[in-house]
Structure formats: C-alpha cells, structure tokens
C-alpha cells in the first residue's frame, strides 16, 4: 500500500509541535491490517470469557503497551493479532476509558507500514513530552527480522481519543550494531523515557549478551537522535533476556505516585524486568545516581529469579504509568491462558489483562504494595457480610447470596493459638514448591485455611487460595498458596500450584485475603497487597450459576474469621 500523503507544511508544523529542536517529516501509519479479523464468531455466553477484565472481543492479545492518561481519557494499547487467536501479525490495538473499568475500542493505532516495522510492531511505551504531548517508542521488526526502535506521535493533539498516529521517517531511531555486540533478536521493548536535570532524555531497552541481562541506556536531547551510553543502566549475569523493562521512581514517605522524571532525597527507584527464561516479572528497589546514570539495587535485592515479583502466578510483560490526575502509579499486566492452543482457537480468543493496580512503596521500603484500583468497586452489588465466626478444624462454610463465578471477596483471619504450629524445615525456601507439596488437601496445624473459589457444589472442582503458618526459630512464617490442582476435571489444562511467602506477623496482625473472581481468572491479594497471585482456571462443573464459594479450614486447629465481605460483580462494558 502507498504511504498516505500529508502536505509538507503540515508535517513541519506537526513535528515542530512535538519535537521542538528537530525538524523532521512524519509519515502516516497505513491501516495494513484493517478489517482482517477472523470471521469466527465469539459467543458472549462462552463460560470462560470474563465479565469485568480487559480483553478484546476476539483473537490474541499479549503485552500492555503505552498506558497513559490524556485530557482525562485513559488509553491502553496492547499487542494484538487481528487475524486469529494465536500469536502473530502483531499490531498495537487501542482502547480508551474514563474510569479504567469500561473500555471503548478504536481502530488499531500502529500497523506495519515502514521498512523498520514491516514484520511487526512489538512492545514499547508512551512518554509525555512537556507540556503533556504523548510520544510512543516501540520495537519494530525490519525485513531482516532485526529488532529496532521507532517513534510515533499523534496526528491530532486536539483529539482526546488519539485515534490516528504518524511515524517518523527517521525510523529506526535505535538499532543494534556490531560495535555494541547486541544480538539483533535481543533488543526490544523501550521503556517510558525520563528527563534528567540536564534536560536530556533517557530510555532503556531490554537485551542480553551471553545470557547477561541488560537494560541498555540511550540518551537524547530532542527525542529523535538517540545515543547509546557507554554502560547499561544495570545488568546482571545469568539472568537471560530482559523483556519489557520498566524504570520509575517511588516516594518513600507517601503512597502517591510521582512523575517518571522525578528525583530527590525522598525517592527510591524501581527497576522491573520480565525474564524471558521464566516468564516472570521481577523487580528491585534501589538507588539511581542521576550523575552517573547507574542504578544499584538495595542490599538484599536481586533482579534474578530468586528476587521479588509483582505477582507469583500468571502475570507478565507488565507496564506502569503515572496517573497525574489522581496522583497514583498504575500497573497493568498480561495474563495468558492455561488452556491448550487448540482450545484457544476453538473459543476464538486468548489472553486478558489483570485488573489495573495502584502500586506504591511499603513503609519498610523493602517491597511494593499493590491493590486493585478503587474504581473496580463500583461494580459491586448484592453485598454479603459474615459476622465474626469460628472455623473449626476440617470445616467448610458456604458463602451464599452472591454470583460466585463473578465476585469480589475480602476476608480476614485471626489465629487464636500458636502452640501446635509446624516447624519450618530449613530446606523449604521455595514457596511455590512448598505450596505444591503442601496443597489444600494436606492437613497441617495452622492451615490450610482460606477460600475455595470457582468450586462445584460437592467439591469435585475448586481453586483453593489459602494460608499456612510455620514456626521458624523465634518468628512465624506465613505461606500464601493458590492451588489449581483440582480446578478442573479437564486434564489438558495447566493446573500449576503457585505460592509466596507473605511478610505479615500473624501474632499481631490479622491475615487478610482479597480475591477477584471472574469466570476463568482468580486474582488474589494477601496482607493488603504484600503478595499477589493470579491464576487462570477452567472448571467443567463450576461454571456460571453452578459455581460456589466457600471459606474453609482443613488444619487441625481452629481459626477465627474476623470478617468476611463478598459482592457479586456487575459486567463491565469492555470492547
């Protein structure tokens, strides 16, 4: 297809508006993939389709890209295959919202149209240039399947929905070279850029050399001409390819989010990378030196598989943005399927997004806290409240009065006695392995206790989200698990059990659990968001009105339910 013609004067004015120090023409993105969606119908009553999570009407979706707020409108771009329910033909799809809950789809924002992206428009980020002009940096795949970095900007700044984007003819702006020794298949996913005190922009790109993970640093005065720094922002041996890097500041004395370019004495920085080897998102908290452009994790923190994770279940390729209207940082994450590719093709879709989460630094300064955005609570209806209740050993209590397949549940537990608590074996250092060995059916003293969600009436199927408590010398250790081993009678599904150690003192604090249940996804938040576990499950019996919700205690010691509140959730208007 031919390039859309734009008068040279308009191009001059357009680019001058965005990039004040450079005068460069832009070309429009073709609509190469216009109307190429599969014709296979998707049933709205399909039992595993979610009611209030973000997903396109059909086909494949993966990484969230370039989330932002512009003129009071939230924007989410995402990796999308307009031709089917498997990965391929990747473009940037686009939806907007006024509340982060209900979403309106728009035409695909970025399509292959240049030599620098003709084989795909892969992940990237949006940066707000002063005084609030969005610019997208994204990875393009060129004719030689080399990964390069490109620029696109809105065609019309007066359009709050930003439905048309144009690309720089100078693309690619960043490319791997023989000199920097970067493999052309390991150079992708530019982060949101930040502006230093010297008025120079910085951005990082994920990469690896000889299995050393790299956050390659580039600098630019005008957002067009980028120069690679002599050293990466940070790197670590043995961690493999770093995908979707995210680098942002967090306040040490407030739960409010701050602008990505903010620096100061009451600020720490977070580096998140998605480890391609394990498909997990890991982050560290540390110090960013604005003079040397180097990042150093705090003592005890590591960017490796043994380090901190946003989510200890299915959660990958995440991206944050600063919501300058409500002064918060919002986290998005892609949740892939646990069913077979054949099943995904049959149902006509694959992938969804986790509920957006507000994210901030814990008081300890040693980890991040995550919590579902408050806007999701407006979907709550038909509240159910349990008064304080004792869960005897081996007991199961049904939570009635809600739609258990589409619900929001908050429960807190109080431990009356600790005398018979199990001793933590020194070799039990892997929480996921420990949860798989001591699942919901394995009795302990204090645990397992928690929730049985998406459960059949007679408990042939359920997903168990629960706690178990151990004694480790003079302190207690809380294990949080999401056990999918009995989540479905369909043996073809991935039914991995997930786990995390929850940094909460059960002697002085109640153990709280919140689970967002939505047909085929269960997002669970322990300890007020100190540990998060997301699961994809596909029950064969516990579907729609046949799903049940239970509180349970399979331990040998009684547990107190301090409080339990549950709501049915209305269906959101999503695409």
Q: Catalytic amino acids? A: 63
Cα separation of 200 and 240, whole Å? 29
Distances (CA, A) of 114 to 18, 210, 353, 487, 541: 20, 31, 29, 46, 49
C-alpha angle 98/32/187, rounded to 5°? Answer: 80
Residues β-bridged to residue 236: 213
In three-state form (DSSP H/G/I as H, E/B as E, the rest C), the secondary structure along 218-268 is EEECCCCCCEECCCCCEEECCCCCEEEEEEEEEECCCCCCCCCCCCCCCEE
Give the N- to C-terminal CA distance of the chain in Å, as an integer. Answer: 28
230: which residues sit within 8 A by CB, 6+ positions away? none
Cα separation of 320 and 126, whole Å? 10
Distances (CA, A) of 258 to 25, 261, 326, 363, 567: 33, 8, 10, 16, 32
Cα separation of 546 and 552, whole Å? 19
149: which residues sit within 8 A by CB, 6+ positions away? 124, 137, 138, 139, 140, 172, 173, 174, 175, 187, 190, 205, 226
Neighbour tally for 398: CB within 10 Å: 14
Cα separation of 154 and 164, whole Å? 6
Strand, coil or helix: 341 = helix
Cα separation of 95 and 376, whole Å? 17
Tokens of 423: 């001793």
Tokens of 167: 């690309």
CB 457 within 8 A of CB 404: no
* Chain-centre distance for alpha carbon 138: 18
Query: What Rg, from alpha-carbon coordinates, does the chain have?
Result: 24
Residues β-bridged to residue 201: 195, 220
Report strand pairing: 147-154 vs 234-236. Answer: unpaired
């Amino acid at each position: 297809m031919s390039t859309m013609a734009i008068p040279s004067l308009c191009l001059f004015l357009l680019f001058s508006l965005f990039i004040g120090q450079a005068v460069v023409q832009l070309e429009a993105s073709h609509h190469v993939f216009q109307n190429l969606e599969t014709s296979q119908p998707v049933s709205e009553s399909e039992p595993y389709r979610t009611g209030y999570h973000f997903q396109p009407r059909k086909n494949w979706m993966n990484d969230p890209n370039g989330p932002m707020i512009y003129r009071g409108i939230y924007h989410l771009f995402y990796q999308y295959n307009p031709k089917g329910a498997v990965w391929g033909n990747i473009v940037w799809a686009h939806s907007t919202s006024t509340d982060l809950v209900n979403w309106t789809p728009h035409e695909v924002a970025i399509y292959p149209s240049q030599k620098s992206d003709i084989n795909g428009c892969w992940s990237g980020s949006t940066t707000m240039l002063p005084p609030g002009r969005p610019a997208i940096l994204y990875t393009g795949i060129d004719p030689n399947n080399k990964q390069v970095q490109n620029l696109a900007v809105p065609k019309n700044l007066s359009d709050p929905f930003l439905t048309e984007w144009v690309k720089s003819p100078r693309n690619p702006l960043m490319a791997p070279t023989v000199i920097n020794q970067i493999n052309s298949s390991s150079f992708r996913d530019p982060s949101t850029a930040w502006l230093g005190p010297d008025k120079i922009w910085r951005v990082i790109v994920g990469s690896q050399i000889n299995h050393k993970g790299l956050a390659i640093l580039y600098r630019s005065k005008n957002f067009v001409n980028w120069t690679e720094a002599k050293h990466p922002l940070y790197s670590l041996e043995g961690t493999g390819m770093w995908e979707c890097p995210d680098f942002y500041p967090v306040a040490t004395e407030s739960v409010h989010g701050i602008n990505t370019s903010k620096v100061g004495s009451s600020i720490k920085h977070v580096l998140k990378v998605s480890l391609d080897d394990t498909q997990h998102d890991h982050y560290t908290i540390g110090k960013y030196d604005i003079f040397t452009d180097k990042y150093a994790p705090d003592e005890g923190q590591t960017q490796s598989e043994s380090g901190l994770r946003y989510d200890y279940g299915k959660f990958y390729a995440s991206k944050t943005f600063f919501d300058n209207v409500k002064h918060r940082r919002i986290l998005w994450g892609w949740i892939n399927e646990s069913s077979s590719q054949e099943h995904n093709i049959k149902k006509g879709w694959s992938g969804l997004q986790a509920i957006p989460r507000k994210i901030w630094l814990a008081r300890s300064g040693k980890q991040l806290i995550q919590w579902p955005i408050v806007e999701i609570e407006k979907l709550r209806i038909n509240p159910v409240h349990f008064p304080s209740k004792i869960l005897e050993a081996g007991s199961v209590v049904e939570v009635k009065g809600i739609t258990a397949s589409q619900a929001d549940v908050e429960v807190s537990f109080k431990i009356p006695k600790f005398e018979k608590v199990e001793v933590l074996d020194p070799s039990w250092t892997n929480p996921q392995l420990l949860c798989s060995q001591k699942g919901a059916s394995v009795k302990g003293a204090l645990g397992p206790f928690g929730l049985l969600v998406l459960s059949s009436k007679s408990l042939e199927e359920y997903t168990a989200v629960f706690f178990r408590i151990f004694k480790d010398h003079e302190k207690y250790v809380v294990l949080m698990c999401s056990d999918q081993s009995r989540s479905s009678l369909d043996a073809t599904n991935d039914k991995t059990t997930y786990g995390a150690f929850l940094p909460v003192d059960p002697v002085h604090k109640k153990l709280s659990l919140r689970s967002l249940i939505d047909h085929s996804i269960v997002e669970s938040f322990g300890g007020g968001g100190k540990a998060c576990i997301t699961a994809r499950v596909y029950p064969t019996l516990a579907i729609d009105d046949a799903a049940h919700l239970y509180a349970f205690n399979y331990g040998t010691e009684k547990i107190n339910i301090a409080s339990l509140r549950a709501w049915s959730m209305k269906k959101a208007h999503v695409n």
